[in-house]
Chains A and B, each alone.
Chain A
Amino acid sequence: MLQNIFDLFELNAKKFPDNIAIILSNKKKITYRNLLRDVNKLSYNLKYQGIKENEAVCIISEKSLEAYKFILACLKIGSPYFFLDPDQPLDRLLEIIKIGNPKLIFTQKKIDIKKSLLIDSFIKKEFLYKKNFLEVSSFISHAYYMFTSGSSGKPKGAIISQYNLKYLIEWAKNEYKFDEKTVHTALNPIFFDNSIFDFYATIGNAGTLVVLTNKEILNPETVIKVINSNMCNSWFSVPSLIKFYLSLKMFNKKNFKNLDRFIFGGEGFPITHLKKLYEIYGNTKIYSNVYGPTECTCICSSYNVSLGDLKSKNNFPPIGKLNYYFDGFLYDEISNKKSNYGELVLLGPAVGKGYLDNIENKGFKLNPIENRFKEIAYFTGDVMKYDKQNKLIFVSRKDNQIKHMGFRIEIEEIECRLRKIKFIEDVVITFISNPENSFLIATIKCNKDIKKRLILIIKNIYQNT
């Protein structure tokens, strides 16, 4: 009987030992057999560092074979991991590390952070094997933390358990037929929540993950070459990336022949751009619009876009219906009842375990409508409505959260940071978005000292023009 997510991976590794689990753009690859061997060794190494169940590990790295080994090793010993973007400013990294409170930090390159170890040298270490040394995790162990923007000015870390993920993996198998023949792209950054689907749906179902780094996805030739040569049959990215590739005319009938399905999510896909993709590939591909918050394993609905949707006057395709393992309703706060229009509230086994430090736990609340079971619901902050076919349609955000290139940004977090600048008295961020372009505008009220200096500067500008 399966005890944890790692068991599922081990089962796949024993069933399909020679299948390629992960392949990189430089043709470096690893089979399920070898990945299992390496991960078992790494999990012992981690245990030797004194890591206990639910003590976190932080990994500051791009996508690499080693990074994926760390994920599996952490799952085996029940240590939640969290990935951070190596290109982020050191201050922000330190701020997130403080919240995540990891026992150990692993980095791809040398970074000036206490307790940090280099991934490559740690992986090569040989520790003395002790029998029965390793206690394995269970489904209730925390699997990972995913950090998102927080409106209080501090990033917030959503906690996801192994149990939460079990459902995502099963669903990918049932809904998208993910299995040992699946060759899925890993285009999403590893510290971004879309990557959760890439890794767990593929490796959890014995498929092959074809990895492109963040720099590589900006090179069209590499993307085409890697996806075509590995015969990828599944794609998942933010719509912004597809829009970018459309502008480079990367999509044509010769490229991506083996792809069966485009999955896109993380932000709305403007119908005007989706039409362009459809005009190229027509019915030869399936176009799946996915939706879901970080706090609920990143995907809670999938909708296959039809020709009718593309002809509609809507700006974005529908959200559709919730995945079978989610329950949910649109909540009308005033009447405290389910409604046809209101905030989407999610329930079920894939609803995460809250935030670290209980900061801003406002998203996780007791189910307000049915309180017999004291069930925790996740309030998404997304206001939706049902259309005539009972499909969910996104209307707006309840708060000031925005989606930019698929990233979730609480604009209050940017405002908080700007207010820390000495000459700024007050600031309001406005997000301007249309299907063609989106950008942020900061309206700044300066304090009196800088005002005088600015007036002089402006006078100079006008005198010189």
Chain B
Amino acid sequence: MIPKHTRFVKSIPENKNGKLDRVKIKNKIIKIYDAI
């Protein structure tokens, strides 16, 4: 079962080491939630 608030995205910002990029993700999320 997928939780109610789950959003799927095509790509997630990553840094050079292949780890998730905290700053870019935050900026992206702020844009998504502002839009909502």
Contact = CB atoms under 8 A, between A and B. Distances in A.
B20 A427 contact: yes
A443 B30 contact: no
Interface string B10-24: 001010000111100
Contacts, number: 27
Contacts of B29: 430, 432, 441, 443
Interface residues of A, number: 13
Contacts of A225: none
Nearest to B33: A432
Interface in A437-465: 441, 443, 445, 454, 457-458, 461
Which residue of A426, A430, A458 has the most chain B CB atoms within 10 A of its CB atom? Answer: A430
B2 interface: yes
Contacts of B21: 428
Given A432-B33, A458-B8, A445 B26 contact: no
Interface string A128-140: 0000000000000
B19 A430 contact: no
A104 to B, nearest CB: 40
A445 B29 CA distance: 15
B25 A443 contact: yes
A265 B21 CA distance: 32
A454 B14 CA distance: 20
A441 B12 CA distance: 14
A428 B22 contact: yes
A428 B14 CA distance: 11
Given A443-B12, A445-B12, A458-B8, A428 B33 contact: no
Contacts of A400: 22
Interface string A409-428: 00000000000000000111
Contacts of B19: 426
Given A443-B20, A457-B2, A430 B26 contact: yes
A416 to B, nearest CB: 14
Nearest to B21: A428
Contacts of A445: 12, 14, 20
B20 A428 contact: yes
Contacts of B26: 430
Please give me the 5 A-B residue pairs with the lowest Cβ-Cβ distance, nearest first.
Answer: A428-B20, A426-B20, A430-B29, A430-B26, A428-B25
Interface of A: 400, 426-428, 430, 432, 441, 443, 445, 454, 457-458, 461
27 contacts: A400-B22, A426-B19, A426-B20, A427-B20, A428-B20, A428-B21, A428-B22, A428-B25, A430-B22, A430-B25, A430-B26, A430-B29, A432-B29, A432-B30, A432-B33, A441-B29, A443-B12, A443-B20, A443-B25, A443-B29, A445-B12, A445-B14, A445-B20, A454-B8, A457-B2, A458-B8, A461-B2
